[in-house]
Amino acid sequence: MNARASERLFRSVRRLWTSNRADGRNLAQLSPEYLSLNDAYLRTKQKCESKKLPLDVNPKGVFACNELDLKEVNIYGFDYDYTLAVYKASMDSLLYNLGLEGLVNKFKYPPGIQEMKFDPSFAIRGLHYDIEKGLLMKLDSFLQIQLGTVYRGLSPVPDVEVLKLYKNKTVPLAYVENHGKTSQYFSSKMIQLADLFSVPEMCLLCNVAEYFERSQIDYHPEILFRDVKTSVGAGHPRMHKIVQENVTEYLEKNPGITEWFQRLAAAGKKLFLITNSPYQFVNCGMRHMIGPDWESYFDLIIVHARKPMFFTDESRPLRIYDKVHNTHVWDKVTQIKKGVIYYEGTLSQLQELTGWRGSEVLYFGDHPYSDLADVTLEHGWRTGAIIEELTHEINTLNREEFKKHCNWLQMLTQLIEECQEVEEADAKVTLGTWMLERDKLRQQIKKVFNRQFGSVFRTYHNPTYFSRRLFRFADVYTSSVTNLLHFSAQHTFYPRRGVMPHEYSSYFV
């Protein structure tokens, strides 16, 4: 709406107030405070609609949390699952069904739970599960529960009940943090489900809880959590075999990865792979993506690494894996040789044998804790997080309607803040309608990402707990490793200057 149209609208509204007030009062009888509020609203709306929308964000961009100069990086390291290997949606269904089968066959759960089907649109990465209370929820960077995102099974928990259970919206730090014990699943009362393998696990957990709730079957939330985690974990060996038998059904090609490896090799960079997955599984996937000569690109390959223990333990020796007999041998490893597959080991031993240390190493992984936390905090490696959901998130951000809603939400919020001291009754009613409009906008903006939980990266206005940890442990993050094809090996990534609350009242003013 241009300025003239907005002014015509304002005059029309004034005429409407004069001629058609529900309480019979005309414009002359309305308080100056009331008229001033409505005038401010219309002019703010006009200003918002006349503003240019933000430019689109590149879904294939590489985003910097810290300055990263690739000229200083001589060694590139990679995780495998969800870093080099990009899985299709069929992988989630497979893991879900294997976990479900384990619950019925091994743990003797009611066969009726098999009626509960996997819903790929239910959960997102980064949620927290309260092991004691059996609740799945989303926390922001200040450990505040985002009300409206707390679920027992598939059913939302009313805000009143949430506040009664937790006393207030903020969860105590000790309830969430496990004090650096990254290898311990149950050292805190809440567990964060931080990687994409967790999505089918979360769905299975909530589906079974929903079945119990509907069937009025008593259950212990922590027992359910442990059984689901064990069952899904026990399904991984079977998953490995199934994927190897039909790799095209579950694994994307990830085009561009060979070209990027060739470019890095031509620039004199060394490459290594450290993965928790078994060799046969990795070999099948890498042959599918790159070809039978995939090992030639890597100066070091370690399988069954058992991260994060690989980064924290000191006493597990590095062993050689025998590809022919599918076993590992007992010879002491005294040097690293290209073409040899290694098994287990520790980062300390790796650094001792290779001399690869500190900021000359850039390691990519998808899990902020088991892949990135220890190597950056304890060993000074540079890190890159591969967050596949960025593609969906950025495509959503780029929608014209979303941009308009965000602009108006920011400006309406500022208007409410500036006008909240009104005292006249009509003015307070008007202010209340603005607040209802703001709440509706916030819900619309949340639900376009995920109906239940919203964006992976933010709550209504704060970064999520997942975002906070991601920005702490990753120097850069992107949706795919092949996005780095768009940058030379001499490129420097610079973080953007963030706007602090005291610097500007709004991004959009």
Q: What is the pLDDT of residue 74?
A: 97
- pLDDT digits over 429-458, tens only? 889 999 999 999 999 999 999 999 999 999
The helix-helix angle for 32-50 and 425-447 (nearest 10°) equals 30
pLDDT at res. 4: 54
The structure's pTM equals 0.89
* β strands within 232-275, DSSP E: 270-274
- Look at residue 184 in the predicted model and tell me its pLDDT: 41
Its sign, for the CA torsion 86, 88, 93, 98, is negative
pLDDT score for 16:
38
The CATH code belonging to domain 64-86+252-386 is 3.40.50.1000
Q: What are phi and psi of 477, to 5 degrees?
A: -145, 150
What local confidence, expressed as pLDDT, does residue 25 receive?
Answer: 47
Q: Which residues are catalytic?
A: 79, 81
Q: Which residues pair with 363 in a beta bridge?
A: 77, 383
Per-residue model confidence (pLDDT) at position 31: 61
Q: What is the dihedral of CA 196, 201, 206, 212, to 10 degrees?
A: 170
Burial label, 246 (beta-carbon count in 10 A; 0-12, 13-18, 19+): exposed
In the block, tokens 């970064």 appear at 463
Per domain, the residue ranges of the chain are 64-86+252-386, 89-245
Q: Which stretches of the chain drop beneath a pLDDT of 70?
A: 1-35, 178-188, 504-509
